Structure 1
Amino acid sequence: MPVAPPPRAMPIPVLPPPTVPAWHPQPMFRPRKQRTGLIVTVSLVSVLVVTVGLIVVLSATAKKHSSSVADSGYNDYPTTSASPVPTTSTAFSTTTTTTTTSSATATSSSSRASTPTSSSSRPSGPQPVHQTKNNPLFGGENGTNTSTCNLPRWKSDPESAKAFFTATLPCLEAEWKPVLARANLPYFSPKLAFPTGTTWNSPCGTTKGSEAAAFYCSADNTLYLPYEGLHTKEIGAHPGSYLAVMAHEFGHHVQAVSGVMDASFDDEYAAGADTAAGLEINRRFELQAECFGGMWFAGAWNGKGSIDDNIVNEMLKDGYTRGDDNNPNGPRDHGTRAHYGAWQQQGYTKNRTFQCNTYNVPSDAVS
Structure 2
Amino acid sequence: MKWRGRRGSSNIEDRRRMGGGGGVAVGGGGLGLLAVVLIGYFLGVDLTPILGGAGATGIGAGGSADITQADEEAAQFVSVTLADTEEVWAGIFSDQLGQSYEPVTLVLFKGATQSGCGGASAQTGPFYCPVDQRVYLDTDFFVTLERQLGAGGDFAAAYVVAHEVGHYVQDLLGILGEAQRGRQQGAESAAVRVELQADCFSGVWAYHAQAQLGTLERGDIEEALNAAAQIGDDTLQQESGGAVRPETFTHGTSEQRQRWFYTGFESGDIGSCDTFSVQNL
Judge same fold: TM > 0.5, yes or no: yes
In 2, distance between residues paired with 1:267 and 1:346?
Answer: 24
Distance 1:159 1:58, change over 3 A: same
1:157 aligns with 2:81: no
What is the deviation of 1:71?
4.7
Report Cα offsets for 1:73-127 as digits up to 9, x if no partner: 55667xxxxxxxxxxxxxxxxxxxxxxxxxxxxxxxxxxxxxxxxxxxxxxxxxx
Which residue number corresponds to residue 67 of structure 1? 40
The sequence identity of aligned pairs, in percent, is 24
What is the letter of the counterpart of residue 69 of structure 1? F
2:154 aligned to 218, 239, 249, which one?
239
In 2, distance between residues paired with 1:267 and 1:236?
Answer: 33
Which residue number corresponds to residue 309 of structure 1? 218
Distance 1:50 1:353, change over 3 A: farther
Report Cα offsets for 1:305-364 as digits up to 9, x if no partner: 4311222221122222221112236821211111011111111112211211001100x3
In 2, distance between residues paired with 1:167 and 1:340?
Answer: 24
Distance 1:252 1:162, change over 3 A: same
1:253 aligns with 2:168: yes
Which residue number corresponds to residue 196 of structure 1? 110
Pairing 1:96-115 to 2, within 5 Å after superposition: none
In 2, distance between residues paired with 1:164 and 1:288?
Answer: 24
Distance 1:186 1:259, change over 3 A: farther
Once superposed, what is the RMSD of the aligned Cα atoms?
A: 2.8
CA contact (8 A) 2:196 2:275 kept: yes
Which residue number corresponds to residue 336 of structure 1? 253
What is the deviation of 1:266?
2.0
Which residue number corresponds to residue 183 of structure 1? 97
1:287 aligned to 196, 200, 205, which one?
196
CA contact (8 A) 1:216 1:224 kept: yes
* Structure whose CA Rg is larger: 1
In 1, distance between residues paired with 2:154 and 2:272?
Answer: 26
In 1, distance between residues paired with 2:35 and 2:255?
Answer: 22
What is the deviation of 1:52?
6.6
Instruction: Give 5+ residue unaligned stretches, structure 1.
Output: 1-48, 61-65, 78-154, 272-276
CA contact (8 A) 1:191 1:222 kept: yes
SS at match of 2:120: strand
What is the deviation of 1:236?
7.2
CA contact (8 A) 1:195 1:225 kept: yes
Distance 1:75 1:166, change over 3 A: farther
Which residue number corresponds to residue 266 of structure 1? 181
In 2, distance between residues paired with 1:301 and 1:72?
Answer: 25
What is the deviation of 1:185?
4.1
Distance 1:202 1:171, change over 3 A: same
CA contact (8 A) 1:251 1:289 kept: yes
What is the deviation of 1:184?
3.7
1:229 aligns with 2:141: yes
TM-score, normalization by structure 2 = 0.71
By percentage of residues, which structure has more helix? 2
In 2, distance between residues paired with 1:226 and 1:192?
Answer: 11
What is the letter of the counterpart of residue 213 of structure 1? G
Which residue number corresponds to residue 346 of structure 1? 263
1:214 aligns with 2:126: yes
What is the deviation of 1:256?
0.8
Of structures 1 and 2, the one with the larger relative CO (CA 8 A, separation 6+) is 1
What is the deviation of 1:188?
1.3
CA contact (8 A) 1:322 1:341 kept: no
Greater mean deviation of Cα atoms: 314-323 or 182-191: 182-191
Report Cα offsets for 1:204-226 as digits up to 9, x if no partner: 1113433x210111222211111
In 2, distance between residues paired with 1:318 and 1:201?
Answer: 27
Distance 1:196 1:338, change over 3 A: same
In 2, distance between residues paired with 1:233 and 1:75?
Answer: 17
What is the letter of the counterpart of residue 36 of structure 2? L
In 1, distance between residues paired with 2:205 and 2:133?
Answer: 19
TM-score, normalization by structure 1 = 0.55
What is the deviation of 1:68?
3.2
SS at match of 1:223: strand
